[in-house]
Structures are given as C-alpha cells and as structure tokens.
C-alpha cells in the first residue's frame, strides 16, 4: 500500500534539513543539522550517520517506522539515474557516496531515493507550490551558486545520465570569471549569492559603492550582504548593482527560454531577498534579450512558495513518486 507519509532531506553545503511530509504537502515534522565534512572517512559515511539520526528522530516523533517510510534525499551535485552521487563540488567528502546502501545498512530501509537538489525543488513547486498546473517551467535556485530543475511537458528533464538542469554552469560570458567547476563565465559567477559578492567587490574596487565601502570598512570588505542590506533601505548604489545582477539573471533566463520555450520561472534559494529587487528589472530586460519576445505569451518570474525548504519538500515528492 502506498505510504501516506514520506521523508525528504536536503543536504546542503552547510546544513541538512529533514522534513516528514504528508502526501498533501503538509510538513509534519522537521529538523536541521550541520552537514558533516569528514574526508578521513569513506565517501559519505559521516553524512549517512547524520541522515540516519535525523530520520530516526523524525519518525520517532511521529511514531512511525524508520525502516518503512519512503525517503528522498536531495544533494547538490551530479546524481546518476541509479541514485549514486557522481560529483558534488560543494560536498567533496560525499562524492561517489552510495547513500541508499549506507542507509539500508543503518535503518533497514530499502526505499531511499537520491536526486539533485535543484530537481527536488522543481518537483516541490510542481506538486504543491508556485508551478502547480504548469507543465513547462524552470526552477532557478539562487544560493551560493545557481541550481535548477527543468520541467517540460509535465516531466522533469533528467537527461542521459540524470545530470540535466545544471543551469548554473551555463556559460553566459565567453572566457569570463573562473568557476569552481573548472570552467569560465558560468552563470552562477554572475547571478548567484557568490556572483553578487564577486560583482560587489569589483564595483567597490572601481569606486561605484562609496557608501557601502565606508560601512564595510574598506572597498575590499564589501560583501553581498552589504548590498542586499543597502538595497533594503533604498540606497541607490546598492540598487544599481542589483540591477546589474538582474541583467545577468535575465540573460540566463533568456537562454533557458530559447532552449526550453518555458515562460514560467520560479526563483528560489537563499538570495531570494535580493531577488525581490531583481525580478522586476529582470522581467523588463527579457523584452530585449528573448528572441521573438512580442510573439510569445507573457513571461512570469515568481518567488518559490517554499523558499530554502523547497529542496527538502521536493525530496519527499521524489520519495512518494518512486515508492509508488
Ligand atoms: Zn561552472
């Protein structure tokens, strides 16, 4: 019989959020734990232990059996179709980990399903959130980097190996800023939290952020958070920089529109505070950047319904879908 509940865990670079969900999208229990980084142990061993502890805690609070609840795990990296984690630049200690096997061993649970965190977020918005009833859309998660999930014809686009939707590493400037993936000019070096920080440093060095430079103590100390705080109080130099980032955001979205013919973009992730300032101008820039813009139906850029919890909720959607 199909389970009425499922567990979703979003393993982030710094913390892991686990939620116990009802099939209708209600969060029944949740817990957050720091993500371990212990390269001295086997791939993902320390992480599997933390996940097992989180899962036991939530099922015990709810009075359910950790061996039988379907479990979904969202991870930031390339996840193969079989659920193994091929490459996770922000979770080096877990690259190559077989989390389903590690959790089967610890919990006796054989229904553990691993998926890319951006794909999870897309599935949460599709099932319960800002993309309900929309068969063609792109999830854009603006965090330290840019994660994403592509939905076409009502289906998650997974690709040959399961690696589709790595939208943050779409090149938006040839031979541009170096990226930790080894490439240059990746979208996430321009339109993510770290991209904002990088552009803020450049702008401060050029003397374009005089007030923020004074507040930070020196131009080289200006960070992304100074810019978002400045924008929140209406400081013109901060708003101008976010407008620049909004153009980069729109450039990536126009590329995705050209490839996917999607018109609905759900913006999530930790940078969504800044996204509130960027979305109106990004929407305006699309008119110049998208091919045949006037011939297309209107574009909609909307905030995530779940914010930073979208990945965990979507991991539970994965668990429901794959467990049947
Ligand atoms: Zn890259």
Range of the domain at 178: 133-304
pLDDT for position 268: 92
Ligand 1 centroid from CA 112, angstroms? 29
Residue 2: pLDDT band with limits 50, 70, 90: confident
From the list 165, 117, 114, the residue with the least C-alpha distance to 144 is 117
**What is the distance of C-alpha 105 from the center of its chain?**
29
Ligand 1 centroid from CA 1, angstroms? 43
Residue 272: pLDDT band with limits 50, 70, 90: low
pLDDT for position 43: 65
Per DSSP, the three-state class of 240 is helix
Ligand 1 centroid from CA 183, angstroms? 5
165 part of a folded domain: yes
Residue 188: pLDDT band with limits 50, 70, 90: very high
Residue 150: pLDDT band with limits 50, 70, 90: very high
Total tally of structural domains belonging to the chain: 2
Cα 289 to Cα 299: distance, rounded to the nearest angstrom: 12
CATH number, position 54:
3.30.420.40
Helix ranges (H only) for 81-133 are 99-107, 117-128
Pseudo-torsion of CA 166, 168, 170, 174, nearest 10°? -150
Shared-domain flag, residues 275 and 296: yes
Ligand 1 centroid from CA 206, angstroms? 25
Q: What is the pLDDT of residues 52-82, one digit of tens each?
A: 999 999 999 999 999 999 999 999 889 988 8
Cα 322 to Cα 182: distance, rounded to the nearest angstrom: 34
Ligand 1 centroid from CA 177, angstroms? 9
The pLDDT of residue 126 is above 80: yes
Ligand 1 centroid from CA 303, angstroms? 24
Ligand 1 centroid from CA 146, angstroms? 10
Ligand 1 centroid from CA 29, angstroms? 35
127 part of a folded domain: no
128 part of a folded domain: no
Shared-domain flag, residues 280 and 142: yes
Ligand 1 centroid from CA 143, angstroms? 14
246 part of a folded domain: yes
Ligand 1 centroid from CA 189, angstroms? 8
Cα 73 to Cα 81: distance, rounded to the nearest angstrom: 13
Cα 301 to Cα 68: distance, rounded to the nearest angstrom: 39
Dihedral sign, Cα of residue 118, residue 122, residue 125, residue 131: positive
Shared-domain flag, residues 144 and 281: yes
Q: Per the confidence metrics, is the pTM higher than 0.75?
A: yes
The pLDDT of residue 95 is above 90: no
Cα 241 to Cα 75: distance, rounded to the nearest angstrom: 31
Average pLDDT over the chain, rounded to whole?
A: 93
Shared-domain flag, residues 85 and 147: no
Ligand 1 centroid from CA 2, angstroms? 40
pLDDT for position 275: 82
The pLDDT of residue 187 is above 90: yes
Q: What is the pLDDT of residues 205-222, one digit of tens each?
A: 999 999 999 999 999 999
In this structure, the number of other CB atoms found within 10 A of the CB of residue 163 comes to 16
């Amino acid at each position: 019989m199909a389970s009425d509940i499922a567990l979703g865990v979003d393993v982030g670079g710094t913390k892991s959020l686990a939620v116990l969900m009802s099939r209708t999208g209600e969060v029944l229990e949740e817990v957050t734990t720091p993500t371990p980084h212990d390269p001295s142990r086997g791939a993902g061993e320390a992480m599997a232990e933390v996940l097992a502890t989180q899962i036991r805690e939530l099922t015990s609070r709810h009075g359910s059996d950790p061996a039988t609840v379907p479990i979904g795990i969202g991870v930031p990296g390339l996840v193969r179709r079989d659920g193994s984690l091929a490459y996770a630049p922000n979770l080096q200690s877990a690259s190559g980990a077989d989390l389903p096997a590690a959790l089967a061993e610890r919990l006796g649970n054989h229904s553990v399903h691993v998926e890319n965190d951006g794909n999870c977020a897309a599935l949460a918005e599709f099932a319960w959130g800002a993309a309900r009833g929309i068969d063609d859309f792109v999830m854009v998660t603006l965090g330290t980097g840019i994660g994403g999930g592509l939905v076409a014809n009502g289906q998650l686009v997974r690709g040959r190996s399961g690696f589709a939707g790595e939208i943050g590493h779409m090149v938006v400037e040839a031979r541009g800023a170096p990226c930790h993936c080894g490439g240059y000019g990746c979208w996430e070096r321009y339109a993510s939290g770290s991209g904002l920080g990088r552009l803020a440093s450049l702008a401060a060095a050029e003397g374009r952020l005089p007030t923020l430079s004074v507040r930070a103590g020196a131009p080289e100390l200006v960070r992304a958070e100074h810019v978002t705080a400045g924008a929140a109080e209406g400081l013109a130099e901060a708003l101008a920089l976010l407008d620049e980032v909004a153009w980069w955001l729109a450039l990536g979205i126009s590329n995705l529109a050209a490839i996917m013919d999607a018109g609905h973009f759900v913006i999530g992730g930790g940078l969504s505070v800044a996204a509130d300032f960027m979305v109106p101008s990004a929407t305006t820039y699309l008119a110049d950047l998208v091919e045949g813009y006037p011939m297309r139906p209107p574009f909609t850029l909307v905030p995530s319904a779940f914010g930073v919890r979208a990945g965990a909720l979507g991991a539970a959607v994965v668990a429901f879908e794959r467990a049947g």
